[in-house]
Structure 1
Amino acid sequence: MTANVMVVVERQFDFPRQEVFRAWTDPQQLKRWRGSPGWHVEDETVGGDLKLGGRHTHVKIRDNDPTTRVVTDGVYSEYFEPDVFVSRERITGDPGIDPNVPLELRVEFTKYGREGKGTLVRIIQGPYDPDVAGWHGEGWEKELTRLQNFLAGTGEYANGGRA
């Protein structure tokens, strides 16, 4: 099958752009919320060189089976804090993604709401094979819920912590 589907997911957050952008790019914050429920980011695998051409990495591990690992290794092809970053990523360990074909991840952070104090996050990622695109969109929705809980300081999030 031909990978030709882009996944687009949006979510509004009642937090300033700079704060939301940092949660995505600061390795110490990212490792606390990334991953769908039942997954966590392995602390020692998170790294990021926050600039154009900089590399970023992390490994997600299934909580009930630590041998199941999904590795993300990306390079920023755009990096404009706090507006947008674009990364070309190789993802290994995910059966729905060919590790030999890089995906593009674009995350936009747009002011919204009264006085522009909120942030609209738009994720665009792909290309995916049509039969797995929906599943990956659902995964992003779950991760954005974890981001909301992390930013709000409520609820469970990765690595067994509490916000």
Structure 2
Amino acid sequence: MTESAADRELVITRMFNAPRERVYQAFTDPDLLSRWFGPVGFSVPRETIDFDMRVGGLQRFVMVSDEDPDFKSAVNATFTEVAENERLSGTETWEDGTMDLSFEFHDEDGGTRLVLRQGPYTEEMEAMAREGWESSFTKLDALLA
């Protein structure tokens, strides 16, 4: 069986040395999200963030290149599941289509195990997304320290 052009799911499992509630808050508090989201070299200006943390609610913000402020990437998502400190799921939309995204937050070894699922991706885009998330999570590690 061959893989179609865009049927790969990105799955990342990451441990954070912080309580589950604190990691969840970093994803749901606009002030905190603005301090870590986006790969190294990108930032999210606080004034671009708009959250409505409920099923059917929206999440919107803009990543901006630190090197070229004219290069921007908007994130527009609708929440399909919001279980405080446990799970966030939604659908992201952009001009080329839609993508599913979920975050699961688990207590483990005194910290938090995060499981991220996102897709569908092409193989090339999945690799780029993985690199971007890993870079973002490095910034989140620093924030949680």
Say whether the fold is shared (TM-score over 0.5): yes
Paired residues in the alignment total 142
In structure 1, what is the equivalent of residue 138 of structure 2?
Answer: 145
In structure 2, what is the equivalent of residue 100 of structure 1?
Answer: 96
Q: Determine the C-alpha separation between the residues in 2 that align with 1:138 and 1:32.
A: 19
In structure 1, what is the equivalent of residue 119 of structure 2?
Answer: 126
In structure 2, what is the equivalent of residue 111 of structure 1?
Answer: 107
In structure 1, what is the equivalent of residue 89 of structure 2?
Answer: 86
Q: Determine the C-alpha separation between the residues in 2 that align with 1:133 and 1:40.
A: 21
Q: Determine the C-alpha separation between the residues in 2 that align with 1:141 and 1:63.
A: 18
What SS does the aligned partner of 2:137 have?
helix
2:80 to 62, 66, 77: 77
Q: Determine the C-alpha separation between the residues in 1 that align with 2:13 and 2:140.
A: 13
Residue 2 (structure 1) shift? 2.2
* 2:9–2:119 Cα contact (<8 Å) kept: yes
Q: Determine the C-alpha separation between the residues in 2 that align with 1:77 and 1:7.
A: 19
In structure 1, what is the equivalent of residue 69 of structure 2?
Answer: 66
The runs of 5 or more residues in structure 2 that have no matched partner are none
CA RMSD of aligned residues (A): 1.1
In structure 2, what is the equivalent of residue 18 of structure 1?
Answer: 21
* 2:17–2:144 Cα contact (<8 Å) kept: no
TM-score of the superposed pair, with normalisation by structure 1:
0.84
Residue 47 (structure 1) shift? 1.1
What SS does the aligned partner of 2:56 have?
coil
* Offset from partner CA, 1:83-111 (integer Å, 9 cap, x none): 000010124xxxxxxx3311111111011
2:33 to 27, 30, 52: 30
Q: Determine the C-alpha separation between the residues in 1 that align with 2:144 and 2:69.
A: 27
What SS does the aligned partner of 2:132 have?
helix
Q: Determine the C-alpha separation between the residues in 2 that align with 1:124 and 1:77.
A: 14
* 2:58–2:77 Cα contact (<8 Å) kept: yes
Q: Determine the C-alpha separation between the residues in 2 that align with 1:133 and 1:76.
A: 22
List 4+ stretches of structure 1 deviating above 2 A.
Answer: none
